[in-house]
Amino acid sequence: MDITNLFKTRLSEKDFGKITRINNSKLLQFVAKYIELCNPDTVFVCTDSAEDRIYIEQEAIRTGEEKMLATPGHTVHFDGYHDQARDKKNTKFLLSKGGDLGPNLNLIDKQKGLKEINAILKDIMRGHKLYVLFFCLGPTGSEFSIPCVQLTDSPYVGHSEQLLYRGGYEEFVRLGPSDRFFKFIHSEGELENSVSKNIEKRRIYIDTEEDIVYSMNTQYGGNTIGLKKLAMRLGISLASKEGWLTEHMFIMGVHGPNDRVTYFTGAFPSLCGKTATALLENETVVGDDIAYLRNKEGMVRAVNVEKGIFGIIRDVNSVDDPVLWGALNSPGQIIFSNVLVTEEGYTYWIGKDGKVPPRGINYSGEWRPGKKDAKGREISPSHPNARFTVELKLLRNMDAEIDNPKGVTIEGIVYGGRDHDTWVPVEESFDWVHGIITKGAGLESETTAATLGKEGVRIHNPMANLDFLSIPIARYVEDNLNFGKKLKKPPAIFSVNYFLKDAQGKFLNSKCDKKVWLKWMELRVHKEVEAVETPTGLIPKYQDLKRLFREVLDKDYSEESYREQFALRVKENLDKIDRLIDIYKRKVPNTPDIVFKVLEEQKQRLDRAKNKK
């Protein structure tokens, strides 16, 4: 293929100048290949300039993929009625003969998958415009970061990524011929009423050997915003090869005595309080979702891969989420997706303050209360998975270190899940290995009636990352264990549980108590409070919590509450260990022996406590 001639033929003179300013033959070959295969009518090359960014925003409005709302800067996007979530069935890894990604991933033979992809992509952009966009995962000019190229015919995808990621055009120019970059090709395919028509041909294929993600015939952000969880899969694979970690973690600054800021990362499955923790008032947020962690001179340093949030908007309200509420109700660039839009041009979502509007437009078209779908099911005003996309800079508690190319030093790691009867509200592990195995690799979370129709089913979810792994679980656990071996000062590892209940099913924590647990963890990192040793870890002393509840929440904390919350639930903990041993023996080939050793040791400590007490 004569790349120069193809670019001269298919690009304007201005766009030809933009693309050829990048001295990277592999990048240029990739772009040229998919221009030829997808066959768009026109091509736009987007640099980091304000002019080009504004052009993408305007294109999203021009094409109808976004519509302007009454609040300045706010827009709304609707996905197709049957295109409202990640397509797990059709999200597959391309596997070469002889490759091994473990038994837990959805795989397809690479040659078969590529043949299918190329057939679907052939001429798929005819009648469309292709947008060539460049981004950087992590701060620019940082050894943490990975440049990315996104090809898409959806300006909504381009606009979303501009809010979520740092521009990467100049990074590609600076790096020259480097072949260490991620590649994403997306097409929404043929459109009908402005949404993807051929959903039966929706495919999201991931190639960790070539660092490419293919996505087609879909508009929903989780399938199309390539740099989000799709890039996370590429990142986990690359990190495993290079000896660092890609984690499904927030990064936040917890503010301690004398203006001290201590940085924590935290991993929680969905609906377990991750975003609510990351965005707590009076603390500062570096990132809410994905982190790269590296060993720098024996300490863990981390960067936020993103600079924005693509979050579930359901139940965001002024009482529980004051920081996020403030941003979502102020002027500034925000994309709302699959919410209800009132006649006046404002948004409403499930759980928002105020009454449900009497009418509006949502993902199903014109909507009124009581509207039903073809199967007779009532359609909610907004989709349960409705989203918002916003830059972190619109939040009043964004941390000043968010763009530090060296990252921030991590001194604590938090794992949290939905657990009604086993884990105490906050607990510290004995050491790195104990924490990674019993709290990270042992993380479980219970389903809710709202999500799966049956409440209380425990789902094993190591490091809250199971859905996004691109390597075998055993290797992922081993990577985490090995990472800690080389640290001079490993971060303290904690577990939290905001969902503990009493025998009558009443929650033992209030939603605000997490503020206290974080302050205690911050003090523990600096050894400024002592702890009580139990068979499962280290828990707070009552007097310390009593003081913190008064200082942080201005309320009393009784000894009765302490005893209820921090009682050692021996049977439940023993049952949990039995479940974990069974899972790792039956479902996780090549589990490191240390996993079983640590779990057995914890079991023995619990047995001794049971016999003694």
Q: Report the catalytic residues.
A: 272
What's the rounded Cα separation, in Å, for the pair 357 and 87? 31
Strand pairing category for 91-95 and 203-207: parallel
> How far from chain centre, in Å, is Cα 198?
27
Instruction: At 430, list the tokens.
Output: 């004995």
| Token pair 């049957």 in the structure block, residue | 82
- Please enumerate in sequence order all residues whose Cβ is within 8 A of that of 345, keeping only pairs 6 or more positions apart, or say none: 68, 69, 70, 71
* Collapsed DSSP state (helix, strand, coil) of residue 112: helix
Please, which contacts does 524-528 make with residues 24 or more away whose CB atoms are closer than 8 Å?
Answer: 524/412, 524/428, 524/492, 524/494, 525/262, 525/411, 525/412, 525/491, 525/492, 526/256, 526/260, 526/262, 528/257
What's the rounded Cα separation, in Å, for the pair 446 and 440? 16
> How far from chain centre, in Å, is Cα 54?
26
Residues 319, 324, 325, 331, Cα dihedral to 10°: 160
Largest CA distance in the chain: 82
* Collapsed DSSP state (helix, strand, coil) of residue 191: strand
* Nearest C-alpha neighbor of 304 from the set 360, 235, 243, 372: 235
What's the rounded Cα separation, in Å, for the pair 425 and 510? 11
